[in-house]
Amino acid sequence: MIIAKRDYMKKKIHITKHDLLPKHVKISEKEKKAILKKYQVTLKEMPKIMKADAALQGMKAEVGDMIKITRKSPTAGEAVYYRVVTDA
Amino acid sequence: MEKPEDKPEDAKEQEETKPEDAPETAPETASDTPPEETEEKPERIDEEPHIFKKVKEIRFGVLSPKLIKKMASAKIVTPELYDKEGYPVDGGLMDVRLGVIDPGLKCKTCGQKLKECPGHFGYIELARPIIHVKFVSIVFNLLRCTCRECGHILIPKNRLRSQLNILDAVQNESGLESRRDKIKELITNLKTINKCPYCNAKQLKITLEKPTTFIENDKRISPIEVRTRLERIPDEDLDVFGINPEVVRPEWMVLTVMPIPPVTMRPSITLESGERSEDDLTHKLGDIVRINQRLFENINAGAPEIIIEDLWDLLQYHITTFFDNNIAQLPPARHRSGQPLKTLTERIKSKEGRIRHNLAGKRTNFSARTVISPDPMLKLNEVGVPLIIAMKLTVPERINEWNSDYLKTFVQSGPTAYPGANYIIRPDGKKKKITDETKEQLLEEMQPGYTVERHLMDGDIALFNRQPSLHRMSMMCHRVKVLPFRTLRLNPAVCHPYNADFDGDEMNLHIPQNEEARAEAEILMEVQTQLISPRYGLSVMGCVQDAISGNYILTKSLEMTRHEAVALLSSIGIENFSKLPRKDSVHGREIFSVLLPDDFSFIGQSRDKEDNAVIIRKGKLIKGVMDKNNLGEESGLLLRNLHKKYGADMTIDILSKMFRLGVKVLLKHGFTVQLSDSDLPDKSKTKINDILRKAEQQVNELIKEYREGKLDAFPGRSARETLELKILELLNKARNETGNVVISDSSQDTPTMIMAQSGARGNLLNLAQMAACVGQQAMRGKRIEKGYKNRTLSCFKQHDLSPSARGFISNGFKSGLSPAEFFFMGITGRDSLMDTALRTPKSGYLYRRLANALQDLKVEYDQTVRDASGGIVQYSYGEDGIDVSRSENGMINVKRVIDLVEGEGR
Ligand SMILES: [Mg+2]
Ligand SMILES: [Zn+2]
Ligand SMILES: [Zn+2]
């Protein structure tokens, strides 16, 4: 039992590789413009994500960037969601 | 809270300007926000430019004397109200500058007429300062906590900082009031300081003689002295008390001028005798102004101090009771009739006050509320309205040249005969009551353009509602059906969406008063439009109780002559019997099939464990029984498929026929729950006793093992816990076995059994508890262990772990419980009762918060879900864009769609 615990402590967990975390991808400026146009919105009307969010680790996302999130769904197969990076 | 940018140094200067400037500066500061970044820079998403004006802060302050004068449009100097001609006196309490309450007069301040002028404040100059009752406790605290000489707070400068931190912590925890209490406590704790740490002045003990007198060393502090002391308190020290000196200076809590409320909030009424009766507030203000004038005159005439003091006290009394006439230490001011005056506080407070009566408790016209009761002979979308109510509620109908004669018949009947009319409305909006005296004249006068308010009649549109209105099905549109007696009636099939039963529930009825409202109610809210729930896509209405039992009996085994079948069907309103086979004896399934459309096919399941197929082919029930799975609310696809194929109107028609058929079958067949339903053959009784005895033996063995220390503990459990788990498992198994004996051995065709099997009411567990054994009573997943020391009840030995000593009930309800068993049952019963009583309001509040947070989300034309300000919440509704009410279990059945399309091609 004790050995197992020590192993667990040593292991570093990479959330971004976890099975339950949906795929987060930073999209290009061009794609971002297209999304804004498609939904007729400005960044203010978009859902947000904190810059410090664990899902954005190692992505070099800056405030104003757009993140594409691809989730698995039992009814829709894959569901796409967009969020804008914010810091407050 | 943000401090305004343009903060003048001199707070005294600012006190007057600030409150009025605040609303003007607020929008300015909003537009002063840094200009939008240029295109290239990353856009900030935190500002919300689509919100034009945002409430930044709300401040509560005290009116300063300067402000009172500034906002007043008249100075009141005389208690007189009207002159000889009945015109308001200038400078009197009904001065026309304070607004108008007489038709025909114009307001001298704003120039508007009655109902347009909002009314304006006036003021009176008080001859001597008066303590405001509502601020006495704050003033008292301030006096005791500050120096009587220099006004500084009685905390040494070097300790002020640390004390402030403590106070801030207290305030964060439990608010301003406790901050003031805490500072009082701090000061009383520092009793050694009876000397001011700033000027070394000796401090005296101050007490409050309620309601408004301050005493210092047996000597009274006059309001003048109180005011000067409060004036001396420096602004910095006020922060300690949680007072913002920008909007509240403590000396303002002692009045030198008093605002006079506008006449529009104290209108006089003209009695039938032509006499004027003034409002209570006006009476009180009259007293105040009169005594104030007398006080002025006496002071100017140099009257003796005693007289002046007396008048001053009287003025204090009148002003105190003007604010609050319910002060414990004061006799309330009364009318000549002896009834107490209703002054400011009484207007606001209590159940009859402005808040609870007028703001929170608004009532609407053209509505009714009574007890509800069931009537399966009504259609689903009807509501039975008592005649008495139908003659009170009215529908306005505009007269035109085609309906003039029709509407005249209502007026002719008048308000006392049904169907009649109560009022006639002239084109100018004047409402005329129809009475025997006015009837003839009104009939003459009636012409196109007039409106008649006629009684409620069959087929009128009404909204029907039951609280708590948690979802949209809690308020639906029904058609009126005027009925005798005194209850509102509804079809039992619509109980479920309203969550209504008939143990005394009351419901509300509203009658829409114009075409627009009626159309909206009919199209958006009528019962049939709400049939399929948007939550799970199944019908929220269905057969219940007797209707299920009846259809179950009918489709399972009933056979009758064709003659009887026709009688049965015609009693539920069916006239076309061509679907009924032309043979002498017809089966129940064939009778049920008459209700189904000819081209309806369906394959489903019934509740029966084996042989549960239900097959309907071409409108004929070929196989299977109708039970809760197919007819019930929130279950099965039968009603859903009917709705999909034939639409809402036809579905509710079929449903109400099914319902009535079930009820009528029971009526014809007879159906009674009886004691003998739970009778068991003798051999079953011995079987049950054997099972229970064996279980008890096993438990006793386990306990013995445990006592001897031989019981192996489960991993992570103590031996005791293991014992409990094993005992629970054993007893549960035993109870289930007795249940199975009951189910297999009791006769299968008793009404109790039929109800359980069809799903109409009760389940097999209930039956087993009646016939055999109630089972273990558990609290929080454990056997009952509390009560007396080391035992549950005093009739057991200490440390007795046997089943019967720890809440196992081996008797059934029919054989009756032993006293100890009865007691155990009482324990768990009370526990679950408390649990529900405590949980219901909590979950209700949680639900309300959720519903309020989500209420204005909607699906836009581009399929996105957005909130009220256009912000995106979901890019596609539910991430899959499926309308649940048009899906099967949240999914689209592609195969069925293809079949449907292909079937049409073939
Ligand atoms: Mg009830
Ligand atoms: Zn006015
Ligand atoms: Zn001092």
Residues whose beta carbons lie less than 5 angstroms from ion ligand 2: B 99, 107, 109-110, 117
Asked whether residue B700 falls in the same domain as residue B663, the answer is no
∠ Cα B42 B48 B50 (to 5°) = 120
Asked whether residue B409 falls in the same domain as residue B470, the answer is yes
B261 assigned to some structural domain: no
Report d(CA B251, CA B356) in Å as an integer.
33
Asked whether residue B733 falls in the same domain as residue B812, the answer is yes
Q: How many residues are listed for chain A in this entry?
A: 88
Asked whether residue B589 falls in the same domain as residue B504, the answer is no
pLDDT of B903 higher than 80: no
Residue of A nearest to B860 (CA): A39
Helix, strand, coil percent content, chain B, rounded in steps of 5: 45, 15, 40
Q: Do A48 and B872 touch (CB under 8 A)?
A: no
Helix runs in B535-637, H state only: 546-556, 562-571, 588-593, 628-631
CATH number at residue A79: 3.90.940.20
Instruction: Write out the residues of chain B at the interface with chain A, using a CB-CB cutoff of 8 A.
Output: 42-50, 862, 864, 866, 869-876, 878-882, 890-891
Number of domains in chain A: 1
Q: How many residues are listed for chain B in this entry?
A: 906
Give residue B341 CA to ligand 3 midpoint distance, Å.
44
Chain A nearest C-alpha distance from B433 (Å): 55
Q: Which of B228, B252, B276 is the last residue of a domain?
A: B252
Q: Which has the minimum average pLDDT: B24-28, B60-64, B190-194, B774-778? A: B24-28
B317 assigned to some structural domain: no
Q: What is the number of other CB atoms lying within 10 angstroms of the CB of residue B77?
A: 18
Residue of A nearest to B48 (CA): A44
B665 assigned to some structural domain: yes
Q: What is the pLDDT of residues B93-152, one digit of tens each?
A: 888 888 888 777 788 888 888 888 888 999 999 999 999 999 998 898 888 888 888 888
B473 assigned to some structural domain: yes
Mean pLDDT of B287-305: 90
Whole-number pLDDT of residue B111: 83
B752 assigned to some structural domain: yes
Q: What is the pLDDT of residues A49-78, one digit of tens each?
A: 999 998 998 888 899 999 999 999 888 889
Q: What is the pLDDT of residues B850-861, one digit of tens each?
A: 988 898 999 999
Q: Which domain holds residue B891?
A: 858-905
Report d(CA B715, CA B658) in Å as an integer.
57
Average pLDDT, chain B: 86
C-alpha atoms less than 13 angstroms from C-alpha of B870 in its C-beta half-sphere: 11
B404 assigned to some structural domain: yes
Assign B475 to helix, strand or coil: strand
pLDDT of B193 higher than 70: no
**Greatest C-alpha distance within chain A:** 57
Pairing of β B382-386 and β B475-483: parallel
Q: Name the amino acid, one letter, at A15.
A: I
C-alpha atoms less than 13 angstroms from C-alpha of B2 in its C-beta half-sphere: 11
Asked whether residue B605 falls in the same domain as residue B706, the answer is no
Pairing of β B394-398 and β B451-455: antiparallel
B361 assigned to some structural domain: no
Give residue B132 CA to ligand 3 midpoint distance, Å.
26
Q: Do A75 and B47 touch (CB under 8 A)?
A: no
Mean pLDDT of B695-710: 90
Residue of B nearest to A64 (CA): B42
Whole-number pLDDT of residue B744: 87
Pairing of β B219-221 and β B213-216: antiparallel
Asked whether residue B522 falls in the same domain as residue B575, the answer is no
Asked whether residue B140 falls in the same domain as residue B243, the answer is yes
- Which single residue is written with the structure tokens 């978009």? A46
Read off the tokens for A30: 């061009």
- Which single residue is written with the structure tokens 């001597």? B128
Number of domains in chain B: 5
Which H or E element spans position A85?
A: strand A77-86
Whether the full predicted model's pTM is greater than 0.90, yes or no, is no
Mean pLDDT of B864-878: 92
Whole-number pLDDT of residue B650: 93
B523 assigned to some structural domain: yes
Asked whether residue B702 falls in the same domain as residue B784, the answer is yes
Contact A56, A24 (CB under 8 A): yes
Asked whether residue B686 falls in the same domain as residue B774, the answer is yes
Q: Do A62 and B42 touch (CB under 8 A)?
A: yes
Residues 6+ away with beta carbon under 8 Å from B196:
B147, B148, B149, B150, B152, B154, B202, B203
- Which single residue is written with the structure tokens 């967009």? A82
Q: What is the pLDDT of residues B498-522, one digit of tens each?
A: 999 999 999 999 999 999 999 999 9
Asked whether residue B427 falls in the same domain as residue B454, the answer is yes
Provide, as residue numbers in chain A, all residues whose Cβ is less than 8 Å from the Cβ of B864.
Answer: 39
Asked whether residue B784 falls in the same domain as residue B697, the answer is yes
Q: Do A44 and B49 touch (CB under 8 A)?
A: yes
Whole-number pLDDT of residue B156: 79
Mean pLDDT of B721-742: 90
Nearest CB partner across the interface for B872, out of A39, A76, A88 = A39
Asked whether residue B235 falls in the same domain as residue B383, the answer is no
Q: Which of B669, B701, B733 is the last residue of a domain?
A: B669
Q: Which has the minimum average pLDDT: B13-27, B680-694, B735-749? A: B13-27
Q: Which domain holds residue A74?
A: 5-86
The DSSP 8-state label assigned to residue B521 in this structure reads I
